[in-house]
Structures are given as C-alpha cells and as structure tokens.
Structure 1
Amino acid sequence: MANEDGAVASARETTDVVLFDTPVFSEDVARIAAARLPWEQYRNSEILVTGASGMIPMYIVGALLAANDAYDLGLHVTGMVRNRAKAEKRFGSALERSDFTLLAGDVIDRQSFEREFSMIFHGASPARPSLHKSSPVTTLKANTLGTINLLDELVEAGGKSFILLSSSEVYGAVKGSDLISEDDEGTLQHFAPRASYSEGKRIAETALAAYADEFGIRGLSLRFGHIYGPGMALDDGRVQADFLADVVLGRNVRMMSAGAATRTYTYVADAVEGLFFAHLQGEEQVYNVADPAGNISIRELAETFAGARPEKNLELDFVNPEDGGSFSPVASLGLDSRRLAELGWDPAMTLSEGVSRTIRSFEDGPLVSR
C-alpha cells in the first residue's frame, strides 16, 4: 500500500479530474443506460442524488442523464453536495444541462427543497477511513440524521422511493462464511469511534425499513463491497486509491504487508448498473453489490495495478522485505451477490480492464486544481 502521507501530498499536486467530461466516464454511463432495463419507470421523475460529487453518486447522476438522453424520459436530476466549488470542477459540462441542477447543502441539516422529489438516491456519507477517525460525530450524523432528514422530506413531498447506498461494513465480523449473504449477521464493536460509520449505516437501514413500513414508501438498501474506478480520489486512503496514486504518479506500488487478505473488488460502472437492476427489477429490500470474479487478495490487486502500464516498469515495494515471499491467503471477506445476479446483473468489466480504465481516466483528463 502506498505511503499515506506521500500519497496525499502528491495527489494534491496532481490535481483532480473533471470526471463528467472524461471519455471513460461517458462510455461507462452510456453502457449502463443501454442495459435492458425498464427505464420508463423514471419518466417525468424528480430525482435527488446526495453526495453527488462522490464516485458512486456521480455515476448514478451520469447514468440517469444518459438514460434521459437515450429515451427522452423527461426526468430531472438534482445533485446535492457540501462543497459546490469542488463539485463544479468535477461535473464540468453537466452544469450546462437543463435536466441537471447542482445544489449545495448538508444532509445533517434539515433542508427546504424547491423541488418535490419522487425518489432519492442517498449517497452522502464520509467514506474515507481517515474521516471516520478524525470526524466520528460528523460521520455518525451524516449516516443517521442525514438519512432521517431526507426520509422526512420524501414523505412530505409525497415521494415513493428511497435508495440507500449502504456498505458491507454493516455485517461486522461474520464467522464461518467465505462470502457474506444478505441474511448473514456479524458482530460489531459498537463502543468505538470507528463504529460511527458501520453502526451509522446500520441505523440508516433501520430508519429506511421503519419509514417504508409506516409510510408505504419503497425502501432499498444497496450494500456495496469494495468499489474502485474513475472518480476515486488519489488521497482517499483505501488501498485501491493508494495503488492508483502510485501508478498515476509513476512510482512503485508500495505494500505495507504481504497483502493476504481478500476482498471483492468491483468496477464502479458495474456496481451502479447493479444498483439500477435492483431498483428497477428487484423486489427485495436489501441487495449485496459485488463482482464475484473480483474476489482477490490485496496483493493480487496491487500486482494488477503495477502491471496495468508495463511501459512504466513498476514493481511492488514491500515495507517488510520478507512479505515479498510466498503467502497463504486468509478467508475471504467478500460479498455474495447471487440475489442480484438472479435479476440478470452480470458484471462486464474484468479486473485488469477496470484497473486500466481507472488509470486512463486520469491520463485522458481534463485536470483541474482542487
């Protein structure tokens, strides 16, 4: 894994990507919109996407706008962000569209919206591990108060659908299972600041279930595994972002351990397509979103990133040289996505293709300073 301090400093020097205007992003969202799904269900909808400048929410916005272009649905998307100036740089030409509005606001505060939303995709949540440690109260409030505030707004506006971008962290530690299914339950150490994220997501799911039962709205929780792709911040702090920063900046991929732990890594466009399969065709309240073919070790992920640009001659650098030898993978902590696959979802991107596209999004630009 890349050195966090070095990655942060260098990432800031390399600026950020106007994600909406990259060829990779445009190709990805067009592919999602081309999926054989009943997009007609979104006709004339007023849709709110919170946390809209984040990786997954930006792909949701992009896919909805691409579907609007393809099928003339008459929908309108509002993207809600905390930092408008930063978001404007990320969205680029999207700001010129009549079917998209960028709105500044914090979900922690009760909002008064001019539009009455028929559905909300709630992705506003501090996702970086460093934020869970440095700002546990904000993390907790965004996941709990933020969700409840938005649910109240949806009910008052007469809206019918709420889609929560949840996380595999709600499972905690699950014993005796290689891949975790939606019905599995694990234990969490709740009396710790770090639990502000995992317990916050659990409370958010409970709030959604309660509102769905009492007010008759459609509640859907998508539990995402480890997602990577265009839109990741180089200073995110998670291994997939650290490895990306190493390759983009042309330095060897640094490993802090042998990298034996395994996870399910899923390309963001595949994950968002899965979200739409669940929302437009599913009947369950909870779906795991994870590519089973991406169930690999952290070391294998690092090797994939290092080998994605052979001309750079990048290698793995181990903090402990002994970790460079053979190792035995530990049990998987990935997600079982069979419930979603039964709806017809089939991830299209191999790991090597997804990693290459992620790097390409930085190579193609355009870049802007943060």
Structure 2
Amino acid sequence: MTFIEWKVRGRTSRSPRPRTTMSAGRSSPSSKTGRLSVASEDRAIDSDADSTDVVLFDTPVFAEDVARIAAAELPWEKFRKAEILVTGASGMIPMYIVGSLLAANDVYDLGLHVTGMVRNLTKAEKRFGTALDRSDFTLLAGDVIDTRRFERKFSTVFHGASPARPSLHKSSPVTTLKANTLGTINLLDALVEAGGRSFDLLSSSEVYGAVAGSGLIGEDDEGTLQHFAPRASYSEGKRIAETALAAYADEFGIRGLSLRFGHIYGPGMALDDGRVQADFLADVVRGRNVRMMSAGAATRTYTYVADAVEGLFFAHLLGEEQVYNVADPSGNISIRELAEAFAGARPEMKLELDFANPEDGRAFSPVASLGLDSRRLKKLGWDAKTSLSEGVSRTIRSFEDGPLVRR
C-alpha cells in the first residue's frame, strides 16, 4: 500500500497544486501572523491559549491518522469522480472526513473533488493550512441555514454543520435548532435538485434521550427527551434532522445515513470547547494540573476521532442500514479515568488531578451510564484501533508539534 505524503512542516506532498480557496483578499501563507510560542521544557502553550488553534492539516499526527484511514480495505472506488460537500468542515470530525477523502484521492487516484463549507472562512483557512494548495479541495464560505443552492452539483453530502459546544445550545438555541433542521432540509433539497445520490448526517447519541434499563443502547432503542429542556434545541434538532433524512430517502430515493456518534476526542478539539475532554487537554498543554469540578464519577464512551471517522466510511461504503452507532465500547470509562489519562500522558510534567472540592478526590465510586452498542458497525468489519492512552497522547502531540495560530 502506498501512503499519501502530506506537506508537513517542510515535507512536500505528492504534487504541487494551485490554491483554490473561494474567498477574496486572502493573505498568502507566508503572511500569516500571530502564532504563539511553545515553552521549551514542557511545551505548554502560553497562558492566553483560549485564543489559539492548530493548523491541523499540517501536523504529523493528522497526516498519520488520515493515511491509516485511507489504507483501510474499503471500496474507495465508489468515490470515483465524486463531487463531495462536507459542511462544518473546520470542525474536528468533518476535518478528518475531508483529510481522509483527500488521502484516498492521492492513493487511489479517484478524481474526486471535496468542497468544505464553513461559516468562518478566516478561521478555516488557518486550520486547513497547506490543504488550500490542492486542486481537489475548495473552501466555501456559507451558512447551511441560508444556503439552498450551490454552483457545484454534489453527488455526496457529509453534513456536520451544527453548534456542538454545550454552551451554545443554551446561549443560541434558535441557531442550534435551525442548523440541525432547516440546514439539513436545505442541503437535502440541494442534493435532490443536483441529482445527488447520498447524504450522511453526523448525528449524536443525544437523540436517544433517557433510555430505561441497563446494558448498551442499540440503534432501535428509544428514550425520552424533555423538549423544553435547555439543551433540547440540539437533541430534538438532531432527531428532526434524522426524520427529514428518512423522509427524503423514502420520497426521492437517495441513500440516507445517520451516524450517531458518542463522545469523540482527538486532534482538532478547540481548547475552549467547553466539554471535559477539551478542558483536560487545555490544562495539559498549558502545563498545569488537570482541574476537576466534580468527583468525575459519571461514565461515558470516548472514541478517538480517527477510529470514529474510519467507522463512518465503513458504514458509508459497506453498510445497508439507515442508522449506525459509532463508538468504541472499550472507551466506556469514568470522567475521572479520562482526566487521569490526560494527566499521566506526559509523566515528565508530573501533573496531578486538582479537585475543586478536595473531598471529591477521596470518595470516588463510578456511576455507570448506558454506552452505545456498536455491534451493527462491527459486523461490517470495523474495529477501533486506538487505545485511550495512545489517543490522548496523540491528541496532546498534535498541539506540541503543530503550528499554532491565534484565532
């Protein structure tokens, strides 16, 4: 198998390609400024790191991950000559989708083209780095809430545009709801009008709500949701998006696929994301003890992003069902165990857990919650390959090795 060679910190990609970003007045790569320094001893990012991001495409970790995904024994030929739209493209999972498709294009010479749709073009340009030099990739500024037509006629859509930060679900519930409902319907209309054939919705385990009983949650299980709850705009919005996708598949004959992701972590997480995995990452890259606001007793299923995206492609290229859970069952751990993994990832830094309430550090008993049943996906041949310790280490490494830019 021949692996893609990315342009990573001076390493040249397979062939130089013209820059094709769809924006006006963009500065050249050499004119980018505002990068933050990295400490020499523990390589901790400066204290104002909330305003930083990583040029994800230009990190060795990302290059290794997407090369591994592209090397998976899958019928990548199904993407030959495909016109692919990835929305929310500057987000962690969508960026891995873009990177994997471009890696597959280099390895198998598929002649595909990927358009990454983003709301904030300036931020996206920084995150994509040298990917902007490729002729098979274009960045497009736009909002799925307002966009109904595209110049390109897309054959495949991966819809990942959705406010994912929990704080936004409370502060911007209308935008959250519209992105998941109107945005999905707008994209479905555009796909049907263009004669496209497939639509993958990046959904969430939150669509299950509160599921009674014990054991793992399967794709056919249903729970209850309080539709007046503060976060209902996200969970109910995802439910409506799945319903819309099923309706369009029935009426127009497109292939609709809902991927219900559990808790995903990895390179590409924003330090100010607000979820615990991002908080723990921010503590480590700043070289400080990992802050715990509770005992961390709740358990969740954490999956490394490269494993999750590889699962998406298994479902897309091999699956025949409408819905797949995407989760690594071995990653069902407590929040405290996740914090310990981050704190222990760099032993030379001697980081510890720092509890807001010291009593939480003494009395600890995990509280089990239901994880996702991924047997349907595993039947297609998918299996998570990245252990928690390796995934955490790779996530931290992406910040240590990657060029940093101020957002």
TM-score w.r.t. length of structure 1? 0.96
Match of 2:226? 189
Match runs of 1:206-285 below 5 Å: 206-285=243-322
Q: How many angstroms apart in 1 are the aligned matches of 2:288 and 2:279?
A: 11
Q: How many angstroms apart in 2 are the aligned matches of 1:154 and 1:190?
A: 30
Amino acid at match of 2:247: A
The answer to whether the aligner puts 1:64 opposite 2:64 as a matched pair is no
Match of 1:318? 355
Match runs of 1:40-51 below 5 Å: 40-51=77-88
Q: How many angstroms apart in 1 are the aligned matches of 2:340 and 2:310?
A: 27
The answer to whether the aligner puts 1:11 opposite 2:49 as a matched pair is yes
How far 1:158 sits from its partner (Å)? 0.3
Comparing 56-65 with 179-188, greater Cα deviation is found at 179-188
Match of 1:4? none
Q: How many angstroms apart in 2 are the aligned matches of 1:145 and 1:186?
A: 24
Q: How many angstroms apart in 2 are the aligned matches of 1:236 and 1:198?
A: 18
Amino acid at match of 2:401: D
Once the two structures are superposed, residues 134-162 of structure 1 have per-residue CA deviations (whole angstroms, 9 ceiling, x without a partner) of: 10000000000000000000000000000
The match for 1:94 among 128, 131, 134 is 131
Amino acid at match of 2:49: A
Amino acid at match of 1:66: A
SS in 2 for 1:232: coil
Q: How many angstroms apart in 2 are the aligned matches of 1:243 and 1:178?
A: 28
How far 1:326 sits from its partner (Å)? 3.8
Match of 2:69? 32
Q: How many angstroms apart in 1 are the aligned matches of 2:214 and 2:320?
A: 25
SS in 2 for 1:334: coil
SS in 2 for 1:340: helix
Q: How many angstroms apart in 1 are the aligned matches of 2:150 and 2:182?
A: 17
Amino acid at match of 1:312: M
Contact kept in structure 2, 1:29 and 1:66, CA below 8 Å: yes
The match for 1:138 among 171, 175, 178 is 175
Amino acid at match of 1:347: A
Amino acid at match of 1:142: A
Match of 1:306? 343
How far 1:64 sits from its partner (Å)? 0.1
Match of 2:119? 82
Once the two structures are superposed, residues 66-106 of structure 1 have per-residue CA deviations (whole angstroms, 9 ceiling, x without a partner) of: 00000000000000000000000000001010000000000
Match of 2:383? 346
SS in 2 for 1:164: strand
Match of 2:187? 150
How far 1:175 sits from its partner (Å)? 1.3
Q: How many angstroms apart in 2 are the aligned matches of 1:287 and 1:193?
A: 26
Contact kept in structure 1, 2:86 and 2:98, CA below 8 Å: yes
How far 1:191 sits from its partner (Å)? 1.5
Amino acid at match of 2:289: N
How far 1:180 sits from its partner (Å)? 1.0
Contact kept in structure 2, 1:178 and 1:331, CA below 8 Å: no
SS in 2 for 1:237: coil
The alignment yields a C-alpha RMSD, in angstroms, of: 1.2
SS in 1 for 2:320: coil
Amino acid at match of 1:327: F
The match for 1:330 among 358, 367, 378 is 367
Q: How many angstroms apart in 2 are the aligned matches of 1:11 and 1:368?
A: 10
Identity %: 88
Comparing 178-187 with 356-365, greater Cα deviation is found at 178-187
Amino acid at match of 1:287: Y
Once the two structures are superposed, residues 248-286 of structure 1 have per-residue CA deviations (whole angstroms, 9 ceiling, x without a partner) of: 001100111111110110000000000000000000000
SS in 1 for 2:339: helix
Once the two structures are superposed, residues 96-117 of structure 1 have per-residue CA deviations (whole angstroms, 9 ceiling, x without a partner) of: 1000000000000033211100
Q: How many angstroms apart in 1 are the aligned matches of 2:214 and 2:198?
A: 32
How far 1:341 sits from its partner (Å)? 0.5
Amino acid at match of 2:306: A
SS in 1 for 2:287: coil
Q: How many angstroms apart in 2 are the aligned matches of 1:139 and 1:32?
A: 30
Q: How many angstroms apart in 2 are the aligned matches of 1:352 and 1:118?
A: 38
SS in 2 for 1:120: strand
Match of 2:404? 367
Amino acid at match of 2:117: M
SS in 1 for 2:185: helix
Once the two structures are superposed, residues 282-309 of structure 1 have per-residue CA deviations (whole angstroms, 9 ceiling, x without a partner) of: 0000000000110100000000000000
Match of 1:180? 217
Contact kept in structure 1, 2:148 and 2:189, CA below 8 Å: no
Q: How many angstroms apart in 1 are the aligned matches of 2:329 and 2:395?
A: 19
User: Could you say which structure has the higher helix fraction?
Assistant: 1
The answer to whether the aligner puts 1:125 opposite 2:188 as a matched pair is no
Match runs of 1:151-166 below 5 Å: 151-166=188-203
The answer to whether the aligner puts 1:104 opposite 2:141 as a matched pair is yes
How far 1:365 sits from its partner (Å)? 1.4
Amino acid at match of 2:386: M
Q: How many angstroms apart in 2 are the aligned matches of 1:11 and 1:292?
A: 32
